[in-house]
Structure 1
Amino acid sequence: MAKKKVVSLEGAVKTDAGLTYKGVVMAPVVEKCEGCERVAEVEGEKFCPTYAQPEKKWAHGVCNFATHVRAEMDKGGKVKVNPLKASKRAARGR
C-alpha cells in the first residue's frame, strides 16, 4: 500500500509578487503539474511546495519531482554507455 503524503503550505503569505513561504517567492504551477500529488492549493491558486518555480523545472523535459509522470527511455530505446568504458571493454574483448 502506498502512503499518500499530505503537503501543506502552512504559514504562507499572499503578496503582490506571489506566494511567500519561508522567505521564498513561489510561482503558481503550470499545466504540466496538474495531477501531481505534491500540488497544494492556497487561496484558490495551486502551488508546488517542493519547487518554487515549476515552469523552470519542466523546461528541460520531465520534472523529477512529478508523481504523475514516469521517466521514459532514450529516443532509440538504448541505455547510454560511457564511451571510455565501452572502449576499455572492447579492448579486453568483452
Structure 2
Amino acid sequence: MAKKTTVSLEGAVKTDAGVTYKGVVLEPVVEKCEGCERIIPFEGENFCPTYAQPSRKWAHGVCNFATHVRAEVDKTGAVKVNPLKASKRAARGR
C-alpha cells in the first residue's frame, strides 16, 4: 500500500494573484475540485498543491489528479481505440 504523505504550504505567501509557493503561483480551487483529497486550506481559501491552475485541468473534462471522481464508461460500452493503431492492425490482418 502506498504511503500517504501530507503536504503543507509552509513558506507560502498570499498575493493578489493567489498563493506563491516555491516560485509558483497557485490559484484557488474551483467548485468541481470540492471533495478532492489533495485540497489544502491556506488562509481561508483552498488550494491544490498538485496543479497550480485547477480551472485549466477541468477545462477539457475530468481532472486527472481528482481523487473524488471516477472515470466513466462510454454509453455504448465500446472501448475507444486510437484510429492510427486501428488502421495499422487492420493492415496486418488482426
Under TM normalisation by the shorter chain, which class is it?
A: 0.7 to 0.9
Aligned partner letter, 1:30: V
Equivalent residue number for residue 26 of structure 1? 26
Unaligned 5+ runs, structure 2:
none
TM normalised by structure 1 equals 0.82
Among the aligned pairs, what percent are the same residue? Answer: 84
Structure 1 ranges of 4+ moved more than 4 A: 1-4, 87-94
Aligned partner letter, 1:65: F
C-alpha deviation, 1:91, in angstroms? 6.0
Equivalent residue number for residue 64 of structure 1? 64
Moved more, 81-90 or 17-26: 81-90
The 3 A distance-change label for structure 1 pair 76 and 23 is same
- Is the 1:26–1:53 contact (alpha carbons within 8 Å) kept by the matching residues of 2? yes
Unaligned 5+ runs, structure 1:
none
C-alpha deviation, 1:80, in angstroms? 1.4
TM normalised by structure 2 equals 0.82
Aligned partner letter, 1:51: Y
Q: How many residues align?
A: 94
